[in-house]
Structure 1
Amino acid sequence: MKILVCIPSLLTGGTEIQTLNLVRALVSGGYRVVTVCYFEHSLEMITRFKQAGSEVVCLSKDGTRIGGWKGIIFLYKGFRRVLKQYRPDAAHVQYMAPGAIPILLLRLLGIRQIIATAHTAADIYSSLRLVHFIQQNCVRVFTCITELAERSFFGTSLLYTEQTQLKKRNHFTIYNALPAGISISRQAKSQDRPLTIGVVSRLESIKGMDLVVPAFAQVKACHPEMQLLIVGDGSLRKQMEEQTHETRLKKAVEFAGRQPQEKLSSYYDRIDILLMPSRSEGFGLTAIEGMARGCVVVAARTGGLPEVVRDGEVGLLHEPEQIEDLTAQINKLIEQPALWKQFSNEATIYVQRFSFERFSQLFNNLYQKIENKY
C-alpha cells in the first residue's frame, strides 16, 4: 500500500516532528511512503524524512508560499502530477494551513481513502462548518492529538485502540509520540544538588516566555541557590536578556540558544523543574520530552496541557498569565523535595503512553483496518 503524506511545510516545528514520527511508523509497518511538501522546507528536514524511509516531493522548489486562487491552482497541478507519478492508495493530510484545500483537491482528483490529522484544537477556527463537512463527506478518518481537541471539533471523543471498530466516517484521538532521540530515562534524577529550573521552547509570546524571568526572580528571592536554564531562541530573547539584567540575575541565568534535537536529552537531564507557561498549546510536545527525562513540568492550564500534564500526579498546573501562581507552584516543588521526587519518578512511568512504539502500533493498526476494507 502506497501512502501520500501531505504537509504544508517541512521546517522544524512540532507538527513536522510528529509527521516524521508518522512516516517512521508507516515505513516500519511495511508501507511505501511519499511525503509531499507544498511550500516552505529546509534541507535538514528533507534529509530527516528521507532517512526515515520516505520519498520527498517539494511542490515549491524554492519554498515560496502561494496564496489565493493562484495557490489553489498551484496545489491542484502539483497534486495531479504527484498522483500520476506515484498512484497512491491513500493520502494522510496534516490538517493545517491552507486547511481543507488539499483534502478537497485530493478528493476531486480521485483519492477515496483520506486520513486527516488536526494538530490544534478548534479554537483557531472561526467556524467549524467546513471541518464537519470534510469529516462527514471527504475523509475516512479524522484524528486529533488530544481528546480535548477532538471534543472541541466534534463534541465527543474516543481514544483509539486496537479494539476500535471503523465506520464509514470516523474521528478518534491518537496521542503524539516522543520524537527520535528522546528516550525514556531508566535512572532517577539526582537530588544531591539544588534543583534547576528550565525552559526548552521557542522564545515567543505564545509560549509565555515573557513570564519566565519575572517568575524566576520571585523564586530566586526565596531560594537564592536556584538557577535558570533557557534552551531555545526567538523574538523574545533580547527582552528576556534585558529582564535578567534589570533583575540582576545575569549570573543565575544561562541562555543555551537553539539546540538540535539529538542534543536535547542532555539539556533536559540538567533541568529538574520544566516550565511551560504557554498562552496556547495544542498538545505540548516539550512536556512529554521533559517527563521522559524525569523533569517535573509546571505548565499553564491551557490547550492540551491539562490532558498531557496530569495536575497533582506527574506535574503541576498554574493559571495562564498568572506569574504569582506560576511562582507558587515552583516554590511548592522546591520546598517539598519528596513531592518533586514522587512526580519525577511517576512522570517516567506515565510518559510511556506517549512512546513511539505505542504511536506506531496504533497507526499501523488503523491503516491495516483501512487496507482490509479498501
Structure 2
Amino acid sequence: MNIHLWLPHLFSFNGGIQTYSAFLFQALQNLYPESRYEVFIKHEVETLPSINYLPQTRFHFAGGSPLKFRTPLFAAQLIGHGLIKKPDLVLATHLNFAVACLILKRLLGVPYWVVAHGIEAWNIKNKAVKTALMEADLILAVSSYTSDRLLKEQNLDPKKVTLLPNTFDAHRFQPAPKPPYLLAKHNLKPTQPIILTVGRLSAGEQYKGYDRVLKAIPQIRQLLGDIHYVIVGEGSDRPRIEQLIAQLQLQDCVTLAGFVPDEQLCDYYNLCDVFAMPSKGEGFGIVYLEALACGKAVLAGNQDGAIDALCHGKLGALVNPDDVEAIAQTLTKILLKQYPNSLIYQPDELRNLAIDTFGFKQFQSTLARHFPTL
C-alpha cells in the first residue's frame, strides 16, 4: 500500500493529538513494513530522533511557512502530492484535514480515514467539514463518548464510525517511590498526601477542572491538614488560577509546577497519591492512562471521554465535575483509603489492567482489524 499520513505534529509537540499520531504511525509501520509512507506534517520543519521510522518513509514539512498562510499552503501540498502519487489511503489525525481528503477523493477516488479526538469533533458548524465527515470511508473515534457525540450531532452512518482508543508507553510510565529531588524541590514530606493534575492551563481548556479541585481543597484540609496540590502545565489561564489560589488562601498548599520536561513527567505522577482531573470536555485523556500506568488512584469527571479511560469506574473514581463537594469528599475518601473500589489501592494490578485494556499491543491489534475494510 501507498499510505499518506496527514498530521498536525509528530516530533516536536507532546499534546494528545501528537501523542496519538505517533502511536498510530508506529503501529502502521509495525503492521505493514512493506508499505510506502508519505508523512505530511503541518507545524514542523524536520525529523527528530525521538520517533523511529522505516527507511522508505518520506516526510513533507509545512512548518517553515508563515503561520497565517500555512493552512492553505499545507492543503495545496496535501492535494498536490495526492494527485501526483495517488495513494491507496489517506489517514488524517485531525478532522480539519478532512476537507482536503474529500477533494482528493472526488478527484481521484482516494479513500480516507480521519481520527476524531475531542472538542474539535463536537458541535461542528463548518459545512465543508460536515460534508467531509459524511463522505469519509472510516472515522476512528478515540472514545465511545466522542463516537456517540459525533453520531448524534452529525447524523453519520454508524458503520463508518469505529473505536481506536488512546494508548500509552508502558515502558516510560511505571510505578516508583516518590522522587526525593521533587520532594526537595517543592518542599514536601514523603508522607504528605499529594494530589496531582497534568494539563495545559489554557483559557480555552478550563473544562479540565483544576479550578474545581482548588475549590475542593479547603474542605479536604479539614481532615487532611497537610494536603498539597501540584498542577503541572503552563498556559494563558495561569493568572486566573493564581488569583483563585490567593482568594482561597491556598498559597501554602498549592504548587504551580509550570512546564515540565518529558523526562520528568513520570516522576511527577509518582510524586502524587492521587491523580485528579475532573474534566467535562476530554475526548479521552491520555494523562489518565499515564497515571494508571504508574499505579496511581485516579479521579475523573463522569461526563466525557474519561468514562472510557476509567472503564466506567472500574479503574478509578468518576464524579460529577461540577460538584465541588463530591470532588472533595471523593478525594478525601481516596486519600484516607476509604474509597470502596479496592483496586485503586493495588498499584501493580491497576497498572496491569490499564496495559491489558489500553496498551500499545491492544492499540495495534485494534488498528489491524480495521484494514480489511479497505
Please indicate the TM-score interval, normalised by the length of the shorter structure.
Answer: 0.7 to 0.9
Q: Is the 8 A contact 1:188 1:294 kept in 2?
A: no
Please give the residue correspondences for 1:266-277 in structure 2 after superposition, counting only pairs within 5 Å.
Answer: 266-277=267-278
AA paired with 1:231?
V
Unaligned runs of 5+ in 1: 156-166
Distance change >3 Å, CA 239–CA 9, structure 1 → 2: same
Q: Is the 8 A contact 2:233 2:260 kept in 1?
A: yes
Query: How far apart, CA to CA, are the structure 2 residues paired with 1:330 and 1:236?
Result: 24
**2:5 alignment partner, SS class:** strand
Distance change >3 Å, CA 197–CA 77, structure 1 → 2: closer
Query: How far apart, CA to CA, are the structure 2 residues paired with 1:21 and 1:65?
Result: 29
Distance change >3 Å, CA 24–CA 255, structure 1 → 2: same
Q: Is the 8 A contact 2:83 2:108 kept in 1?
A: no
Q: Is the 8 A contact 1:93 1:102 kept in 2?
A: no
Please give the residue correspondences for 1:27-106 in structure 2 after superposition, counting only pairs within 5 Å.
Answer: 27-29=29-31, 30=33, 31-38=35-42, 40-41=43-44, 46-47=47-48, 51-53=52-54, 55-59=58-62, 61-62=64-65, 64-66=67-69, 74-75=73-74, 77-83=76-82, 86-96=85-95, 98=96, 100-106=98-104
Q: Is the 8 A contact 2:86 2:108 kept in 1?
A: no
Distance change >3 Å, CA 128–CA 145, structure 1 → 2: farther
AA paired with 1:305?
A
What is the CA distance between 1:333 and its match in structure 2?
1.0
How many residue pairs align between the two structures?
Answer: 347
Please give the residue correspondences for 1:160-309 in structure 2 after superposition, counting only pairs within 5 Å.
Answer: 170-179=160-169, 182-183=172-173, 185=175, 193-204=191-202, 205-309=206-310
Q: Is the 8 A contact 1:50 1:56 kept in 2?
A: no
Matched, 1:4 2:1: no
Please, what is the CA RMSD of the aligned residues?
3.3
**2:222 alignment partner, SS class:** helix
Higher deviation after alignment, 102-111 or 240-249: 240-249
Q: Is the 8 A contact 1:18 1:179 kept in 2?
A: no
Using the size of structure 2 for normalisation, the TM-score is 0.80
Which residue number in structure 2 is paired with residue 146 of structure 1? 143
Aligned match for 2:353, one of 338, 350, 355: 350
Query: How far apart, CA to CA, are the structure 2 residues paired with 1:41 and 1:338?
Result: 45
Distance change >3 Å, CA 112–CA 180, structure 1 → 2: farther
What is the CA distance between 1:107 and its match in structure 2?
0.9
CA deviations over 1:231-283 (Å, ceiling 9, x no partner): 11112223333433444433332322222333211111111211112231111
**1:349 alignment partner, SS class:** helix
Q: Is the 8 A contact 1:209 1:236 kept in 2?
A: no
Distance change >3 Å, CA 103–CA 343, structure 1 → 2: same
Query: How far apart, CA to CA, are the structure 2 residues paired with 1:197 and 1:315?
Result: 14
CA deviations over 1:101-126 (Å, ceiling 9, x no partner): 12212213425231221112753324
What is the CA distance between 1:324 and its match in structure 2?
1.5
Q: Is the 8 A contact 1:273 1:295 kept in 2?
A: yes
Q: Is the 8 A contact 1:33 1:55 kept in 2?
A: yes
Which residue number in structure 2 is paired with residue 116 of structure 1? 114
Using the size of structure 1 for normalisation, the TM-score is 0.80
**2:48 alignment partner, SS class:** helix
AA paired with 2:225?
P
What is the CA distance between 1:332 and its match in structure 2?
1.6
AA paired with 1:225?
D
Q: Is the 8 A contact 2:299 2:316 kept in 1?
A: yes
Query: How far apart, CA to CA, are the structure 2 residues paired with 1:119 and 1:103?
Result: 17
Q: Is the 8 A contact 1:181 1:265 kept in 2?
A: no
Distance change >3 Å, CA 65–CA 105, structure 1 → 2: farther
Distance change >3 Å, CA 359–CA 189, structure 1 → 2: farther
Which residue number in structure 2 is paired with residue 21 of structure 1? 23
Q: Is the 8 A contact 1:291 1:344 kept in 2?
A: no
AA paired with 2:3?
I
Query: How far apart, CA to CA, are the structure 2 residues paired with 1:322 and 1:12?
Result: 30
Q: Is the 8 A contact 1:203 1:235 kept in 2?
A: yes
Distance change >3 Å, CA 261–CA 272, structure 1 → 2: same
CA deviations over 1:173-226 (Å, ceiling 9, x no partner): 1111114763454x7999x83432111111231322322322223212321122
Higher deviation after alignment, 353-362 or 245-254: 245-254
Distance change >3 Å, CA 84–CA 180, structure 1 → 2: farther
Distance change >3 Å, CA 301–CA 48, structure 1 → 2: farther
AA paired with 1:142?
I
Which residue number in structure 2 is paired with residue 164 of structure 1? none
Q: Is the 8 A contact 2:330 2:339 kept in 1?
A: no
**1:222 alignment partner, SS class:** coil
Query: How far apart, CA to CA, are the structure 2 residues paired with 1:116 and 1:59?
Result: 20
